[in-house]
Structure 1
Amino acid sequence: MTRIKAAWTRREDLRAMLVVLDPASDQCRYVGGAVRDALLGIEATDIDIATRLLPEAVMTRLEGAGIRAVPTGLAHGTVTAVLPNGPVEITTLRRDVTTDGRHAEVAFTDDWREDAARRDFTINALFADPETLEVTDYFTGLEDLEAGLVRFIGDAGERILEDHLRILRYFRFHARFGGAVDGEAVASCSLHAERLKALSRERIARELLLLLGAADPLESARLMADGGIWTVVLPEMAEDGLDRLTELLAREHALGAERNALLRLAALLPTEPLLADTVAARLRLSKAQRLAMQRFAAPWPANGTARQIAAGVQPEELVAPWLLLRAPDAMLAAGWQSLAGWQVPGFPLGGRDIIALGIQAGPDVAKALGEVRRRWIAEDFPDDARLAEIAAEVVAQA
C-alpha cells in the first residue's frame, strides 16, 4: 500500500481540525495536489480535503470547535477553515449534473469514486487517509505519476467539453510533471482549441503564466504550437517566438536567473512595446504587469552600460530581466553581474546646491541639475568629489 509522507501532515492545527471531521469513520480524506506533490517529495502549500459531510455540517462542526469557517463556495460545496498555519479548503464530494465548458452545476454525493471521476487528470484524483496516510487511487494515477504521464480521466474530449480551461491545464501540468506525451490528450486539446475563446481573459492569463512559470515549459509550448493553441490564446505571438523562448531559457540557466513567467510571455512576442501592452490589456494583467510587459518588449539600448541604463528606468528592478531577454550576447554576462545586488544610487544634489554655485533661481536651475545628473550617470556614478567638479563645470558653462 502506498502512503504519503510530508511535513504538512504533522501540523498540529490540521490534526486538531481533522478530529472534528471524523476521519476514523472515513468522513474525510486529503485529495488532489497535496497528495500528488507529497508522493513526488514536493512540499505542498495548498491543502485540500474532500468530505462526505454536507457543507452546512462542515460549517457547524468547525464553528462548534472554535475554528473560523468561511463559506467560500457553498454552492459547490467548499468551506475554508482558517487555521493558524494556513487555510485549508474542505469540499463535499460532488458529481457534475450539467456543464457548459465554463461552469458546472453539481450535486453532492457520498461516493469517493464518483467524486474522483469528475476531476481532470488521473494524477489529481488521488486521495489519502488522514490517519494512515494510505493512498486510494481509482484511475491509475499512481502509475501515471511514476511514468510522468499527464492523462485525462476517461475520454479526453468529454472532459474538455465539461471545462474548456482543461486544455491549458493539460499543458501546464505536462510542463510541470510530464515526461511522456499523451497523444489522445494533445489531439483532443487541438481539436477543441477554439473553445478557449469562450473563457474569461483572466482565467486564460492565469493558466498561461502558471504554465510559463514551470521549470522548463518549452516542450509544452511546442506542443501548443503544433496543436494550434497559441493561435487562439496568443495570436500576436512572433513567428520566432519559440526560438526567443528557447534562447531566454538558455540564458536563465547559464546565469542562474530566477524564473519569470511574465518575461517568458514577453519573449514569445515581437519586440514592440505597444503590441505587448495590447496583449497585457487583453489578458487583464495588472498595471504593474502591463508596465513590465512594455519594458520587456522594448529593444535594448544601443549605448550605455547596464547600470547607466538602469538609472533611467523605473522601477529599476525591471532592468535585469529586460537585459536577460534583450541584451546582446556580448554584454549579457558582464551586464548581469554588474546589476547583481546593485541599486541605482540616489542622486545627492538638489536645486539649492546649483543655486549655491551661482545660478539664479528659476528654470535654469532644473536644466543645469538635469545636465549634472546626465554627466554623473555617463561617468558611471563617480564619487562626491568628482560630482562637485561636474556641477561646477556645468554651472560655469551655463
Structure 2
Amino acid sequence: MNEFALPAFWLNGGPLRSLLKVLNREGEARVVGGAVRNSVLGFPPGDIDIATDLAPERVERASRRAGFAVHPTGVAHGTLTIVAEGQPFEVTTLREDVETDGRHATVRFTDSWEVDAMRRDFTMNALYVDAEGHGVDYVGGYRDCLDQRVRFIGDPAARIGEDHLRILRFFRFHAFYGSGAPDAEGLAAVRAHKASIASLAVERVTNEMMRLVKAPGAADVMDEIAAEDILAPFFSERPAADCYRALCAAERKTGRPLSETLAFLSLVRFDGPAFDALATRLKLSRRMRGRGLAAVAAAREMPPRSVPHVRALLYEHGADAFTDGLIVALALGADVIDLPTLLAEARKWARPRFPVGGHDLMEQGGEGGAELGERLRRLERMWRDSDFSLNRQALLALDREMVDTQAR
C-alpha cells in the first residue's frame, strides 16, 4: 500500500464533507475512482463517488437520520444514491466479485479496501482519498497517473474476462489519459480476447464508442482498433481510421467540439448507405441517423462557388447540415476558401420565407395536385437562384406567364 496527498479544493465542498462526516460516524468512507484520478491528472473532478465499509442498510439509515434523500439506484451491487444538501453522490459498499460472465457480475460485500481495489478495472481508477486529502493506493495507480499509463489491475486477461467491455474501455482511457504507446501487456490481452466483444449488448458498445470518439487522443487509438479489427462484430468493414483522423483535423479548424455523429460517419468513409446500415446495427437515434445523412447530402455540394451559392445551400440544407457538410468536405480534402467567413454566415443565417403559396397559384388558374406542387417547386428554385431577390409580385408574374404558355 502506498499513500499520497491530494490537496483538492472540491474535498472542502459542504455537501461532500457533510456526507463523509455522517458516514464516518458509523464506519469509514472515502472518495474513490474518477474524481481522485482526475484530480491527480489535473482535470476537473467530475462526478464524485464514495466507497464505504458500511453495509447498504447502514448507509441508508445514517443518511436518512441526517435528512438526506436516499435512492436505491444499484442496491443489488451495494450502490445507493445519496442526495446531500441538493448534491447527489453514489455511495457503494466495499465489494468483491463472486461470479462474472463478461457482462454481469454477482458480488458480495467486504470490509477490505484492498479487496475492493483489486476488483476494479485500471490502476488509476482504484485510488481512495479521505475528507482530509489523505490518499491510499493499493495497486500502483498513483504512479500510473503521473506517468499517464493506463494499466489493468493484476492479470489483464482476468479483468477482461470479468467484463468484456473493458476491451473498449482500455482504448478509451488511453485516449483520454494515456501518453505514448498503450501498455504492452494490456494491449496483448485485448488482442487475444477481442472476439469476446461480440457477446456485449450493442447499446453498451455504442455508448462506449460515443465516449471514445470524443477523447483527445482517439485518433491514435483508432488506428489500433482498426488494425486489430476490434469492432468486427458491429462494423461490416474495418473502421476508417484515416477518415476519422481527417475529420478530427477538420473539426479543429472550425473550433467546435467533435460531433459523435460525424465521427461514426467518418468510420464508414462518409458513405451514406454504409452509415445508414451502421446506424441500424448500433441502434443510433433517429436524430443521429438524420444528421449524418443530411451531412452527406450537403457535403456533395461543397464547397460553395459564390456568396449567392452559400445562401442557396443554407436555404436548401439548413445551417446545421451546411456546417456539417462543410466539415465533411474538408475531411475529404476539399479546398475550402475563407472557412471562418462561411462558418460565420451559417451562424447568423435566418431562413427567408418563400413569399407565395399554393392558394396564390390556384387563383391564377391551372390544375391542383401534382401539377400545382411542380409549379411551386419551380418558382422556389427560381427564387433561390435569384439569391432570394424575386418578390411575390415577380414570382406570380412568372407563374402566370408559364400558365399562359401551357394554355396556348
TM-score, normalised to structure 1, is 0.89
Is 1:373 the counterpart of 2:386? The answer is no
**Does the 8 Å contact 1:280/1:293 carry over to 2?**
no
> Quick check: 331-340 or 41-50, which moved more?
331-340
Rounded Cα–Cα distance in structure 2 between residues aligned with 1:367 and 1:297: 26
CA 1:318–1:352: 2 relative to 1, 3 Å: closer
Instruction: Report the alpha carbon displacement of residue 344 of structure 1 after superposing the two structures with TM.
Output: 4.4
> Quick check: 64-73 or 145-154, which moved more?
64-73
**Does the 8 Å contact 1:122/1:152 carry over to 2?**
yes
Cα RMSD after superposing both structures: 2.6
1:43-192 to structure 2, matched below 5 A, reads 43-83=44-84, 85-130=86-131, 132-180=132-180, 181-192=182-193
1:14 corresponds, among 16, 27, 40, to: 16
Rounded Cα–Cα distance in structure 2 between residues aligned with 1:60 and 1:332: 65
Rounded Cα–Cα distance in structure 1 between residues aligned with 2:141 and 2:278: 37
Rounded Cα–Cα distance in structure 2 between residues aligned with 1:294 and 1:196: 28
2:316 corresponds, among 312, 316, 328, to: 312
Amino acid at match of 2:70: A
User: Alignment partner of 1:107: what SS?
Assistant: strand
Instruction: Report the alpha carbon displacement of residue 152 of structure 1 after superposing the two structures with TM.
Output: 0.3
* Deviations 1:234-260 (CA, angstroms, capped at 9, x unpaired): 23345xx12211211111222323211
CA 1:106–1:294: 2 relative to 1, 3 Å: same
Rounded Cα–Cα distance in structure 2 between residues aligned with 1:86 and 1:290: 35
* Deviations 1:292-329 (CA, angstroms, capped at 9, x unpaired): 23334557234764442332336x52331232013552
CA 1:17–1:386: 2 relative to 1, 3 Å: same
1:325 corresponds, among 312, 318, 328, to: 328
**Does the 8 Å contact 1:6/1:43 carry over to 2?**
no
**Does the 8 Å contact 1:69/1:82 carry over to 2?**
yes
CA 1:157–1:79: 2 relative to 1, 3 Å: same
**Does the 8 Å contact 2:298/2:317 carry over to 1?**
no
CA 1:237–1:223: 2 relative to 1, 3 Å: closer
Instruction: Report the alpha carbon displacement of residue 224 of structure 1 after superposing the two structures with TM.
Output: 1.5
* Deviations 1:61-109 (CA, angstroms, capped at 9, x unpaired): 2222221111011110000113455421111000111111111110101
CA 1:230–1:118: 2 relative to 1, 3 Å: same
Rounded Cα–Cα distance in structure 2 between residues aligned with 1:395 and 1:16: 77
Rounded Cα–Cα distance in structure 2 between residues aligned with 1:102 and 1:86: 30
> Quick check: 324-333 or 176-185, which moved more?
324-333
Rounded Cα–Cα distance in structure 1 between residues aligned with 2:63 and 2:387: 61
> Quick check: 30-39 or 332-341, which moved more?
332-341
* Deviations 1:239-283 (CA, angstroms, capped at 9, x unpaired): xx1221121111122232321122112101044322212211111
Question: Structure 2: which 5+ residue stretches go unaligned?
Answer: 404-408
CA 1:347–1:361: 2 relative to 1, 3 Å: farther
CA 1:10–1:372: 2 relative to 1, 3 Å: farther
CA 1:333–1:211: 2 relative to 1, 3 Å: farther
**Does the 8 Å contact 1:307/1:380 carry over to 2?**
yes
Instruction: Report the alpha carbon displacement of residue 351 of structure 1 after superposing the two structures with TM.
Output: 2.3
Rounded Cα–Cα distance in structure 2 between residues aligned with 1:263 and 1:333: 22
CA 1:87–1:378: 2 relative to 1, 3 Å: farther
Is 1:263 the counterpart of 2:256? The answer is no
Q: Tell me what 1:284 maps to.
A: 283
CA 1:10–1:318: 2 relative to 1, 3 Å: farther
1:240-259 to structure 2, matched below 5 A, reads 241-259=240-258
Size of the aligned set, in residue pairs, is 391
Rounded Cα–Cα distance in structure 2 between residues aligned with 1:25 and 1:65: 12
CA 1:263–1:352: 2 relative to 1, 3 Å: closer
> Quick check: 387-396 or 259-268, which moved more?
387-396
**Does the 8 Å contact 2:69/2:82 carry over to 1?**
yes
User: Alignment partner of 2:317: what SS?
Assistant: coil
Q: Tell me what 2:406 maps to.
A: none
**Does the 8 Å contact 1:230/1:237 carry over to 2?**
yes
Instruction: Report the alpha carbon displacement of residue 10 of structure 1 after superposing the two structures with TM.
Output: 3.2
User: Alignment partner of 2:231: what SS?
Assistant: helix
Instruction: Report the alpha carbon displacement of residue 336 of structure 1 after superposing the two structures with TM.
Output: 4.1
Fraction of identical pairs, as percent:
34
1:288-307 to structure 2, matched below 5 A, reads 288-298=287-297, 300-302=299-301, 305-307=309-311
Amino acid at match of 1:202: E
Instruction: Report the alpha carbon displacement of residue 150 of structure 1 after superposing the two structures with TM.
Output: 0.3
Rounded Cα–Cα distance in structure 2 between residues aligned with 1:391 and 1:301: 32
Amino acid at match of 2:394: E
Q: Tell me what 2:33 maps to.
A: 32
Rounded Cα–Cα distance in structure 1 between residues aligned with 2:105 and 2:246: 41
**Does the 8 Å contact 1:80/1:89 carry over to 2?**
yes
Instruction: Report the alpha carbon displacement of residue 43 of structure 1 after superposing the two structures with TM.
Output: 1.5
**Does the 8 Å contact 2:37/2:124 carry over to 1?**
yes
Amino acid at match of 1:151: R
